[in-house]
Amino acid sequence: MEFSSKLLERAVNEMSQLPGIGKRTALRLVLHMLRQSKDQTMALSEALQSMRSNVKFCKSCHNISDIELCEICSNPNRNETIVCVVEDIRDVMAIENTSSFKGLYHVLGGKISPMDGVGPHDLNIESLVSKVKQGIIKELIFALSSTMEGDTTNFYIYKQIQKYKIVTSTIARGISVGDELEYADEITLGRSIVNRIPFETSLKL
């Protein structure tokens, strides 16, 4: 792509570094900014700068937070004996939206993925193990993606905390609500039969 302006070229190149944004999309976005008022572009870039410079992570669960201990960790109404292990702050937001979990979270910051160069030491696993060691946590719920990397990460953490004899669980795998059986994959369908629940229980959900 040949640009008629170096300023434009640099802006497009920087935008296209973002995941899922190619040169064409970056150009479209940058041209949109040029059509809008200057204030809007300034507000965007100022928001990105101040977020990147000032964002903090909760010292306990590693969720993004403006304060040292995030609102969930510092809420006395939450059950600190149950901790849900997730990859990412997006998972915290998704689970919080369901209003079905009243424990605390632990954000790993990713999953073990040798292909992407992510090992156990790149994740917040040590701090989780030391929290378990303290003896307050009674149950750990693994809520990672149902992929090979997710399963590997679950298993790695399980091995580390096994000796502390706490309850560990993983979120249920099964047919999604609203899904038709014939389109479900074999493994999901198989697991949903093996892990069936009493009908009376399902009525209460």
The contact set with a second copy (CB under 8 A) reads: 1-8, 10-11, 13-15, 17-21, 25, 27-35, 38, 40-56, 58, 63-66, 70-72, 88-90, 92-93, 96-97, 109-110
Minimum distance from residue 82 beta carbon to a second copy (Å): 19
- Of 18 and 197, the one with the shorter C-beta distance to a second copy is 18
Shortest distance, CB of residue 67 to a second copy, whole angstroms?
9
User: Reduced to 3 states, what is the DSSP secondary structure of residue 65?
Assistant: strand
Say which residues have a Cβ less than 8 Å from residue 188's Cβ, sequence separation at least 6: 173, 174, 175
Strand pairing of 139-142 and 167-170? parallel
Residue 99 backbone class (left: φ over 0; alpha: ψ -120 to 50; beta: rest): left
Compute the least distance from the CB of residue 118 to a second copy, in Å: 10
Nearer to a second copy, 44 or 148 (CB): 44
Q: Would you say 150 or 161 has its CB closer to a second copy? A: 150
Q: Are 167 and 137 in contact (CB under 8 A)?
A: no
Residue 143: name the closest of 157, 132, 131 by CA.
157
- Smallest distance from the beta carbon of 80 to a second copy, in angstroms? 17
- Dihedral sign of CA atoms 9, 12, 16, 21 in order: negative
Nearer residue to a second copy within complex by CB, 93 or 136: 93
Angle at 126 between CA 125 and CA 131, to 5 degrees: 100
Query: What is the closest distance, in whole angstroms, from the C-beta atom of residue 101 to a second copy in the complex?
Result: 14
Q: Which is nearer to a second copy, 91 or 154 (CB)?
A: 91
